[in-house]
Amino acid sequence: MAPQGTAHNQAAREKVEAFDTTLRDGMQVEGVSATVEDKLRIAEQLDYLGVDYIEGGWPGANPKDVEFFARAARELNLRTSTLVAFGSTRRPKGKVDDDATLRNLIEAGTSAVCIVAKSWDYHVEHALQTTLDEGVAMVGDSVGFLAGEGKRVLVDLEHFFDGFKNNPEFALRVIEAAVMRGATHLVLCDTNGGSLPHEIAEAVARVKAHVGNDAVLGIHCHDDTGCAVANSMAAVMAGVRHVQGTLNGLGERTGNANLTTIIPNLQLKMGFDCLPEGNMERLTAVSNHVAEVLNRPLNPQAPYVGASAFAHKAGLHVSAIARAKDAYEHVAPEVVGNGTRFVVSEMAGRATIQMKADELGLDMDGAAVNQVIDDLKRLEHEGYHFEAADASLELLMRRAAGWVQNDFKVESMRVITDETPDGRFTTEATVKVWVGDERHVHVAEGNGPVNAIDAALRAALVPHYPALERIHLTDYKVRILDGGSATGAVTRVLIDATNGERSWTTIGVSANIIEASWKALEESLVYGLLHVPV
């Protein structure tokens, strides 16, 4: 029974376990490739967030996962999470004690293992090409063997919902065999992601009636119908108490169920406990951190954690929002570690600018506010677009309030691109910078002009500001604003940068693409120095 309306009743809160599979399913995203080091860092983040289980990978499937488990045992000091090794049941007609997959699971050295089992008769007969009886025995034997070795055994029932629709009797036989031989968890998987919430709810309710409390029921959804989060919630409503998914919904095809959304839904809206007390406010930082490690920029519109999740575009309602934020926000953004943001453009009036100043903690008098409004109108007319560049907006407002950047002064910058006789292109930048009364001249090469000027500027600044080493550029977008004038058009450059915990965007506009890039780049570092402790 879902404890509706018990959100305020601490004593009645029931636990739903969060099982993260970013390190296995999440690695299936096209273009994502994580090193062992990356995976260790992500595991630390997951533990810091406080999920119950971290699936580390499939030991034996590739050398990287073997190394991951070996290093995890030595190097990770998990406080909250239990590390899980993933594998499969034994081979058809094989023996458990000489099965390589099961051996690898034991050798991974984790206290818990998760094995995938076939619960769709069609797969047993056609993919495994064996009998249904043997299909059931493979699951029972494997669970029994692993449990006998002292492991906590979770079973992922692959293609469960299709199998259950097709042959419920066989699917339930597989479940029974797993429970009888000691499985602690039965995880119902919508492996091809084709199910809808009402179908999930109905099947889960029937399985729940059959299994009772003999094992914890779990859910594992893929997002092929855009319903992975809804399906997971429906399963919880119908009785599962263990949800599998990935951070930021990473996963093959359209992705896995997004734990970054499901966890706050369950905890903030449905009255369940998922994370340890006080950990929910780490959600946004962890989500950003993992996006950064995997080099997969976070969707700004991601629920709860996205940069736009609590952004309000200034309009008629702007002062109403300031007076009563909770009337416009479905949860307090601070609860998940995010924040309210007022989006400012040339349309902004005095009230909006004043609110933005309050958000930034800036003391601005009427003259300064007017200055900002004038600057915005002028610059947006030139092609700037401050809605998309929060960091540049903040710098503009600080300057209007009298702030002067004193960290460094650029004397000059030059960049040269050459084509060598063998047809290669080389780029070299020279930057002359003053830090205090010291003058630095630095030359750097790059794979293009922006890369080269970034390298030269950093070479000059890093000895003074080592924190800059933690800041790097994550995206560089160029847009031609007036396509009609062809190569004479105005160029708008947006640069995203991060220090691994937060990201910011700066903007530059010019008829000269190098100048536009340089402006955005310089502001990016200025902003970084302002906010990252040196």
Q: Is 158 in the site for Zn ion (CB under 5 A)?
A: no
DSSP string, 136-173: HHHHHHHHHHHHHTT-EEEEEEETHHHHHHH-HHHHHH
Shortest distance (Å) from residue 361 CB to Zn ion: 44
Instruction: Report d(CA 204, CA 239) in Å as an integer.
Output: 7
SS3 288: helix
Angle at 311 between CA 230 and CA 233, to 5 degrees: 10
Residue of this chain nearest to Zn ion (CB atom): 25
Instruction: Report d(CA 56, CA 174) in Å as an integer.
Output: 25
Residue (25 or 47) nearer to Zn ion, CB? 25
Residue (148 or 226) nearer to Zn ion, CB? 226
| Contacts (CB under 5 A) with Zn ion, residues 321-360 | none
Closest CA to 67 of 25, 39, 98: 39
Residue (144 or 218) nearer to Zn ion, CB? 218
Give me the amino acid identity at 327: A
Shortest distance (Å) from residue 25 CB to Zn ion: 4
Instruction: Report d(CA 309, CA 305) in Å as an integer.
Output: 6
In angstroms, the first-to-last Cα distance of the chain is: 52
Residue (156 or 387) nearer to Zn ion, CB? 156
Instruction: Report d(CA 117, CA 181) in Å as an integer.
Output: 14
Residue (189 or 274) nearer to Zn ion, CB? 189
Shortest distance (Å) from residue 33 CB to Zn ion: 18
Closest CA to 400 of 371, 366, 421: 371
| Contacts (CB under 5 A) with Zn ion, residues 15-54 | 25
Burial label for 303, CB within 10 Å (0-12, 13-18, 19+), is middle
| Contacts (CB under 5 A) with Zn ion, residues 191-230 | none
Residue (25 or 390) nearer to Zn ion, CB? 25
Shortest distance (Å) from residue 191 CB to Zn ion: 6
Shortest distance (Å) from residue 484 CB to Zn ion: 49
Shortest distance (Å) from residue 269 CB to Zn ion: 25
Structure tokens at 280: 């929910």
- The number of residues that bind Zn ion (CB under 5 A) is 1
Shortest distance (Å) from residue 353 CB to Zn ion: 48
Residue (10 or 254) nearer to Zn ion, CB? 254
- Which residues, including other chains, have CB under 8 Å from residue 431's CB and lie 6 or more apart? 410, 412, 413, 414, 440, 441, 442, 444, 453, 456, 457, 459, 460
Shortest distance (Å) from residue 256 CB to Zn ion: 6
Angle at 291 between CA 386 and CA 516, to 5 degrees: 30
Residue (25 or 44) nearer to Zn ion, CB? 25
Provide the binding-site residues for Zn ion, judged by CB under 5 A.
25
